[in-house]
């Protein structure tokens, strides 16, 4: 039987048609995948990622996910900072490392899950790879598609949070709107050099879920446009500027771009919840004769666990008989100053610290983004400071009792230490304060303190909500 011959023209036309069909089908598949990805990003803030009934509940710690930037070369030292504030049963977060690290049993039990950052899909000769990697943590955390997330909080491995205070701040904002919350630097130089419109990453910053989704759509392209920028936080702010979203400043986040002794800033904390602090490796320990970790454990296991909302909050009162002003930074320290100082003066931080920028004149008070008070050159006019010794809660009365002792005059920078001063005989300050977890649900107002009793070696002080005429006797 003779074979049927098909003209070559017909075969060619059929192959050409088949090729076109494959190409068109492939193109449709690509478009469909892009559509699905875009639909996923658009719908990520919709109820399918929320458990039943969860959306109606108030914002809580379980709705916050921390994206923690870490590096392998600093891991052994800095992982201990994370263990102070992160609690696996209450807190959600991911540590993003640049390469794998060894983990012991304590690490696995006390730390967040660890992820290795993915390969950066682009490069530029002037871009710092580490900063680009950290900039993308928000994108990589978002891609995990975690449920019931309302806020992403970005931070460093040497950032320490008071989580309950953070949640109290975020609960005031709608996570379905666009919010970018944090603070700028304490260093005037840093704000000029980098930006005073950005949230500095070391102090931590919060991004609402809706804004994270919007930011994630074009983050890589945006980062490429700002390849010459120094830090990851600077790149994020540039991308926020493209989206038209400004920084919501909250002075409870602390970058702490200073060096040395931090007492002056901690003892003059503004009337806002204490949310975070940073740069622990370059700051002196919080308490004398303590390591950095020991000092932090002391406040987390004591005052923070008893009344997180009141931590570091200032109050002032007057020992009229002794002609002294008393300033309480609750949970941290009490200072006593000879004579009467107005609240206006006491609110201004004493400069016990040095500049972040080493080539800046340490005696230039204009180098900071806030006013400062210089320590008196006369050693005897400097405050006597009592540091936290212990803290307990009376379960029946809900009253906290914090004790402060080991009195010493501040001895930083210039000034003689050898003067014989008219020192106080008081060796211990005992402060009583009713727990007040709802303090920030009211309009902001500094607490008042009252000297209740003064013996030869001890002073009892009561701290609480001010009465309307509380300040009348202060200025007598």
- Per mean pLDDT, which of 4-13, 183-192, 396-405 is the most reliable? 396-405
Do residues 213 and 333 share a domain?
no
Do residues 374 and 459 share a domain?
yes
Q: Which two tokens stand for residue 296?
A: 């932090």
Residue 30: per-residue pLDDT: 47
Q: Does residue 374 lie within any of the structural domains?
A: yes
Tens of pLDDT, residue by residue over 198-211, are: 999 999 999 999 99
Per-residue burial over 333-369, b = 16 or more CB atoms within 10 Å of its CB, e = otherwise? bbbbbbeebebeebbebbbbbbbbbeeeeeeeeebbb
Query: 32-41, 124-133, 459-468: lowest mean pLDDT where?
Result: 32-41
Residue 14 vs residue 259, higher pLDDT: 259
Strand duo 324-329 + 333-338: pairing: antiparallel
* CA distance between the termini of the chain: 126
For residue 249, name the pLDDT band (cuts at 50, 70, 90): very high
Cβ atoms < 10 Å from Cβ of 269 = 21
Do residues 233 and 341 share a domain?
no
Contact 68, 93 (CB under 8 A): yes
What would the mean pLDDT of 3-12 be, rounded to a whole number?
51
Question: CA neighbours within 13 Å on the CB side: how many for 213?
Answer: 21
Q: Does residue 268 lie within any of the structural domains?
A: no
Q: Does residue 375 lie within any of the structural domains?
A: yes
For residue 454, name the pLDDT band (cuts at 50, 70, 90): confident
Cα dist from 234 to 31, 149, 231, 238, whole Å? 34, 25, 5, 6
Q: Does residue 177 lie within any of the structural domains?
A: yes
Q: Does residue 378 lie within any of the structural domains?
A: yes
Mean pLDDT of all residues in the chain? 87
CATH number of the domain where residue 242 is located: 3.90.550.50
C-alpha to C-alpha distance for 121 and 140, rounded to whole angstroms? 13
Q: What is the pTM of this model?
A: 0.86
Do residues 203 and 340 share a domain?
no
Give the position of tokens 């500027």.
Answer: 241
For residue 20, name the pLDDT band (cuts at 50, 70, 90): low
Residue 137 neighbours by CB under 8 Å, 6+ apart: 67, 69, 96, 117, 154, 232
Tens of pLDDT, residue by residue over 112-137, are: 999 999 887 776 666 678 888 999 99
Residue 42: per-residue pLDDT: 40
Do residues 235 and 313 share a domain?
no
What would the mean pLDDT of 182-198 be, rounded to a whole number?
91
The answer on pLDDT for 51 being more than 80 is no
Q: Which domain holds residue 96?
A: 58-249
The answer on pLDDT for 164 being more than 50 is yes
Q: Closest Cα partner for 67 from 250, 225, 215?
A: 215
Do residues 230 and 312 share a domain?
no
Contact 220, 135 (CB under 8 A): no
Cβ atoms < 10 Å from Cβ of 117 = 18
Do residues 351 and 230 share a domain?
no
Do residues 97 and 240 share a domain?
yes
Number of domains in the chain: 2
CATH number of the domain where residue 434 is located: 2.70.130.10
Strand duo 333-338 + 248-249: pairing: unpaired
What would the mean pLDDT of 132-155 be, rounded to a whole number?
95
3-class SS at 246? coil
Residue 172 neighbours by CB under 8 Å, 6+ apart: none
Query: 69-73, 189-193, 283-287: lowest mean pLDDT where?
Result: 189-193
Tens of pLDDT, residue by residue over 337-365, are: 988 999 999 999 999 998 887 665 566 77
3-class SS at 238? helix
Do residues 186 and 314 share a domain?
no
Residue 15: per-residue pLDDT: 57
The answer on pLDDT for 248 being more than 60 is yes
Q: Does residue 152 lie within any of the structural domains?
A: yes
Pick the last residue of a domain from 249, 272, 288: 249
Q: Does residue 41 lie within any of the structural domains?
A: no
The answer on pLDDT for 53 being more than 50 is yes
C-alpha to C-alpha distance for 230 and 24, rounded to whole angstroms? 44
Pick the last residue of a domain from 201, 230, 249: 249
Instruction: Pinpoint the alpha helices (H) of 122-187.
Output: 129-135, 137-142, 163-170
C-alpha to C-alpha distance for 210 and 42, rounded to whole angstroms? 9
Contact 349, 268 (CB under 8 A): yes
Pick the last residue of a domain from 249, 278, 297: 249
Do residues 339 and 234 share a domain?
no
Do residues 454 and 316 share a domain?
yes
Strand duo 160-161 + 92-97: pairing: unpaired
Tens of pLDDT, residue by residue over 295-309, are: 999 999 999 999 999
């Amino acid at each position: 039987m003779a074979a049927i011959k098909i003209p070559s023209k017909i075969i060619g036309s059929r192959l050409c048609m088949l090729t076109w069909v494959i190409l068109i089908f492939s193109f449709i598949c690509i478009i469909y995948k892009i559509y699905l990805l875009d639909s996923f990003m658009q719908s990520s803030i919709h109820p399918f990622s929320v458990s039943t009934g969860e959306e109606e509940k108030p914002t809580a710690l379980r709705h916050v996910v921390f994206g923690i930037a870490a590096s392998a070369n600093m891991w052994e030292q800095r992982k201990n900072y994370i263990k102070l504030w992160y609690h696996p049963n209450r807190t959600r977060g991911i540590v993003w490392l640049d390469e794998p690290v060894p983990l012991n049993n304590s690490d696995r039990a006390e730390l967040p899950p660890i992820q290795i950052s993915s390969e950066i899909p682009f490069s530029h000769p002037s871009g710092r790879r580490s900063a680009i990697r950290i900039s993308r943590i928000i994108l990589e955390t978002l891609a995990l598609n975690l449920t019931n997330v309302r806020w992403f909080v970005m931070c460093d491995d040497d950032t320490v949070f008071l989580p309950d205070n953070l949640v109290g701040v975020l609960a005031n904002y709608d996570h379905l709107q666009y919010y970018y919350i944090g603070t700028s630097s304490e260093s005037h130089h840093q704000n000029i050099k980098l930006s005073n419109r950005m949230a500095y990453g070391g102090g931590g910053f919060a991004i609402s879920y809706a804004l994270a989704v919007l930011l994630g759509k074009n983050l890589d392209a945006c980062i490429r446009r700002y390849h010459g920028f120094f830090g990851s936080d600077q790149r994020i702010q540039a991308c926020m500027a493209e989206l038209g979203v400004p920084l919501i400043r909250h002075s409870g986040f602390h970058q702490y771009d200073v060096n040395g002794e931090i007492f002056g800033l901690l003892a003059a904390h503004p009337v806002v919840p204490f949310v975070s602090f940073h740069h622990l490796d370059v700051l002196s320990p919080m308490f004398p004769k303590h390591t950095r970790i020991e000092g932090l454990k002391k406040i987390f296991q004591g005052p923070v666990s008893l009344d997180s909302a009141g931590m570091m909050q200032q109050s002032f009162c007057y020992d009229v008989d002794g002609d002294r002003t008393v300033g309480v930074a609750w949970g941290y320290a009490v200072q006593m100053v000879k004579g009467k100082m107005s609240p206006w003066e006491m609110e201004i931080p004493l400069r016990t610290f040095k500049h972040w920028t080493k080539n800046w004149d340490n005696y230039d008070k204009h180098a900071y983004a806030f006013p400062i008070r210089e320590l008196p050159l006369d050693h005897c006019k400097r405050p006597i400071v009592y540091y936290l010794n212990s803290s307990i809660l009376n379960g029946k009365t809900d009253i906290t009792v914090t004790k402060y002792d080991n009195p010493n005059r501040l001895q930083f920078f210039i000034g003689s230490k050898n003067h014989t001063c008219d020192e106080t005989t008081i060796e211990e300050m005992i402060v009583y304060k009713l727990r007040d977890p709802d303090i920030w649900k009211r309009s902001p107002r500094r607490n008042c303190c009252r000297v209740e009793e003064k013996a030869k070696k001890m002073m009892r002080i009561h701290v609480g909500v001010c009465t309307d005429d509380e300040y009348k006797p202060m200025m007598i």
